[in-house]
């Protein structure tokens, strides 16, 4: 009989292997109603979230971005049902660090100078950046949240793990409130955050309970090399905090993608 830690290690390794594998399975006959339909057409030189350069046309960027239209493990998805529970040794080794903030024109990106790392059963993934999307890109049993933060990690071989936190409207989030003070009003280069240290853990729930699946980047080139860990418990933001982001960036969520028979798991941390 396998121990829980051995089983969870195999689970994480399997998800990482799946995220790097080329898939040739059938298209999901039950794709989300709002999943984009990729259209043929002339090449495009830029991408946005609407119109002729929106998600339905990202594959027309060509090159590696072709997978935006024909990939079998694309993100985001709607996490449905009751995923099977697994257990894993999870350490969030984050630091309070100086950081930069950037309005890219498509999102707000925060890059800590030395933000620490995520450890999954001994494998380490350094925190690279934090990005925000509104409405949430992922859904839980059909429910989209107001905001989603994505903590992008990578190991020294480039394997990516992204932790996502969903936010519903409620009490204002104090850490986001401090960060939002420095929201750049216009797209431009990264600027230092003065007098503010960023700790990723301060922007996350206090639990270690996640939905896990193998997916992709949610922006071009939509690479299928990502293990997603989505907190099961949402945090809250005030309507004013949500509105401040939405007025600055506008809607920046990719439509839901087909599940394509992928497995979802629920992963809980152990000491």
Q: Is residue 84 a part of any domain in this protein? A: yes
Q: Is residue 35 a part of any domain in this protein? A: no
Parent domain of 152: 4-21+73-270
Query: What is the DSSP secondary structure assignment for residue 255, as one 8-state letter?
Result: P
Judge contact between 131 and 106, C-beta under 8 A: no
Q: Is residue 90 a part of any domain in this protein? A: yes
Any idea of the CA torsion for 171, 177, 179, 182, to the nearest 10 degrees?
A: 140
pTM of the model: 0.88
CA terminus-to-terminus distance, the chain: 21
Q: What is the DSSP string of 152-198?
A: EEE-TT--EEEEEEEEEESSPPHHHHHHHTT--SS--S-EE-TT--B
Whole-angstrom Cα distance, residue 62 to residue 45? 9
Q: Is residue 100 a part of any domain in this protein? A: yes
Query: What is the DSSP secondary structure assignment for residue 143, as one 8-state letter?
Result: E
At residue 9, the pLDDT reads: 46
Q: Is residue 260 a part of any domain in this protein? A: yes
Identify the CATH number of the domain in which residue 154 sits. Answer: 3.10.200.10
CB neighbour list of residue 216: distance below 8 Å, 6 or more residues apart: 19, 67, 71, 73, 74, 75, 222, 223, 224, 225, 226, 257
CA angle (155 as vertex; 153, 156 as ends), nearest 5: 140
Cross-strand pairs, 86: 267
Judge contact between 266 and 212, C-beta under 8 A: yes
At residue 15, the pLDDT reads: 55
Q: What is the pLDDT along the chain (271 residues), one digit of tens a residue?
A: 444 444 444 455 545 544 434 333 334 444 454 445 444 566 667 999 999 999 999 999 999 999 999 999 999 999 999 999 999 899 999 999 999 999 999 999 999 999 999 999 889 999 999 999 999 999 999 999 999 999 999 999 999 999 999 999 999 999 999 999 999 999 999 999 988 999 999 999 999 999 999 999 999 999 998 999 999 999 999 999 999 999 999 999 999 999 999 999 999 987 5
For residue 127, give both structure tokens. 């925190």
Q: Is residue 110 a part of any domain in this protein? A: yes
The residue count for the chain: 271
Q: Is residue 30 a part of any domain in this protein? A: no
Q: Is residue 49 a part of any domain in this protein? A: no
Q: How far out from the chain centre does Cα 155 lie?
A: 16
Give how many domains the chain has, as a whole number: 1
CA angle (247 as vertex; 245, 251 as ends), nearest 5: 75
- Burial category of 38 from C-beta neighbours within 10 Å (exposed 0-12, middle 13-18, buried 19 and up): middle
């Amino acid at each position: 009989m396998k121990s829980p830690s051995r089983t969870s290690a195999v689970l994480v390794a399997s998800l990482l292997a799946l995220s790097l594998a080329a898939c040739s399975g059938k298209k999901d006959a039950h794709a989300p109603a709002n999943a984009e339909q990729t259209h043929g057409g002339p090449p495009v030189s830029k991408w946005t979230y609407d119109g002729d350069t929106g998600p339905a046309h990202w594959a027309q960027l060509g090159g590696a971005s072709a997978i935006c239209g024909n990939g079998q493990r694309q993100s985001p998805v709607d996490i449905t049902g009751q995923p099977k529970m697994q257990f894993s040794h999870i350490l969030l080794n984050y630091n309070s660090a100086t950081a930069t903030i950037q309005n890219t024109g498509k999102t707000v990106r925060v890059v800590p100078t030395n933000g620490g790392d995520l450890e999954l059963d001994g494998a380490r993934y350094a925190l690279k950046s934090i990005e925000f999307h509104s409405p949430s890109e992922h859904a839980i049993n059909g429910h989209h949240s107001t905001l989603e933060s994505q903590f992008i990690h990578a190991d020294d071989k480039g394997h990516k793990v992204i932790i996502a936190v969903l936010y519903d409207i409620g009490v204002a989030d104090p850490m986001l409130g401090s960060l939002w003070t420095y929201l750049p009003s216009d797209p431009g280069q990264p600027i230092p955050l003065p007098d503010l240290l960023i700790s990723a853990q301060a922007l996350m729930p206090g639990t270690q309970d996640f939905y896990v699946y193998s997916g992709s980047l949610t922006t071009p080139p939509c690479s299928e090399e990502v293990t997603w860990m989505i907190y099961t418990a949402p945090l809250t933001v005030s309507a004013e905090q949500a509105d401040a982001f939405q007025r600055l960036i506008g809607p920046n969520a990719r439509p839901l993608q087909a599940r394509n028979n992928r497995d979802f798991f629920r992963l809980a941390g152990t000491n």
